[in-house]
Chains A and B, each alone.
Chain A
Amino acid sequence: MHLDRIVSRVILLARLPGNKRRCEVEKELRSHLDDLAEEARSQGYDDEAAARIVRMRFGEPEEVAAGFASVYAPERLAKRILQSAILVAASTMAAVVVIGTVQSIAAICTATSIVSTLRDIHLELFGFAAIAAGYCSLYAGERLFPTSPVRALLPSVTVGLWLAAVFGWLIPQHAALPLTAFTCAASGRLLQRVPIPFVWFVGTALPLLVAWALFGRLISGWQFPWLVWLGLTISCKALREIVRLFERLFIEDFA
């Protein structure tokens, strides 16, 4: 194996947090391998034999990478938690902006006071957080279990059950609203992966229809159910863009 390949394999598998640290470890290991190769050549070995000796003395890249991964595991975890918190916060903000805008436009178009549309804002806030939680938990599942679609649902199911318990305790009369929003966002994300255009619209519509059939009106603005759907659907689209941006910014740390 060429020296560069040994170093790149270590760097790839070690999952070191931060680009600067990756570069530094790369430089350090490269310097060590150069010294080893130089020593072997000074003893009369040709390049091929020297490379074999280097490989033998350095050890398996997998073993070295596992050592680094274990050293930096707590730092990596802390960074991942912080990045996830940023993603959830940005997603919640996006849901607030999108649904707030849709509600305001609807209020203007129907000549209704905007203040009156914000009557249930305290309940809606739970809904905004639930949208972010539904979307991000499914995304987390996709990242954690990229090869198993069924296991990818696990974080969403877990978060959903926890939220059901929390909302059932905090707002027992209105828990259906944020839980429906959670399910809409999660199923919207799920169907966004289906390579058929606009099929994910069904993902946000279906849980709403089920909730409507089971519980009737969930919120005062329910007289325009299609507006609720529109707000949720645009939110899912916005969250998709946020997730893409997040991946562009942090993908190396999540690799």
Chain B
Amino acid sequence: MQFDRELLKGSIALLILKLLSERDMYGYEIIQESVRRSQDAFEFKEGTLYPALHQLHKRGYLRSEWRTGENGKQRKYYSLTAAGRKAARRSEQEWFSFTKVVNAILSKASS
């Protein structure tokens, strides 16, 4: 499904923080995991993930390191910092509160 670009832009940081709160991942893996969990419904231009990752890294929410995989390929893994964990919790709460309010408005409007 194609979602509105602005809607995706606003939620990409939350998705990154949430996924990385579970384990360290590299960019391609983050995309794969998002697609898998959304059952292929979540599609966005994959290149745009990287500026978002770098933005979070600059804010001090992520740290990164190059690791060599079993196939000898080097990948840049991202993990959450303490500030990133806090931001992940805050963003998640914000998201749930926001969707609750929007849902309440939408359900009132449709009833």
Known contacts A35-B28, A68-B54, A57 near B46 by CB under 8 Å = yes
Is A63 part of the contact surface with B, judged by Cβ < 8 Å? yes
- Please, which residues of chain B bring their CB within 8 A of the CB of A31? 26-28, 73-76
A27, A36, A70: the one within 8 Å of B51 (CB): A70
Please determine whether A71 and B47 come into contact, CB atoms closer than 8 angstroms: no
A-B interface, 5 closest residue pairs, ranked by CB to CB distance from nearest: A59-B45, A67-B51, A64-B47, A59-B47, A35-B28
Main secondary structure, interface of A, reads helix
Contacts of A27 in B (CB 8 A): 74, 76
Contact residues, A23-51 vs B (CB, 8 A): 24-25, 27-29, 31-32, 34-36
Complex Cα–Cα for A48 and B46 (A) = 19
B-contacting residues of A (Cβ < 8 Å)? 10, 24-25, 27-29, 31-32, 34-36, 57-61, 63-64, 67-68, 70-72
Q: Beyond the given A31-B73, A57-B46, A60-B47, please list 15 additional residue pairs across the A-B interface where CB-CB is below 8 A.
A: A28-B27, A31-B74, A31-B76, A32-B28, A32-B47, A58-B47, A59-B45, A59-B47, A61-B47, A63-B47, A64-B48, A64-B51, A67-B50, A68-B54, A71-B58
Q: Contact string, B19-62, partner A, CB cutoff 8 A, digits 1/0?
A: 00000001110000000000000000111101110110010000
**Closest residue of A by beta carbon distance from B57:** A71
A57 to B48, CA, bound (A): 10
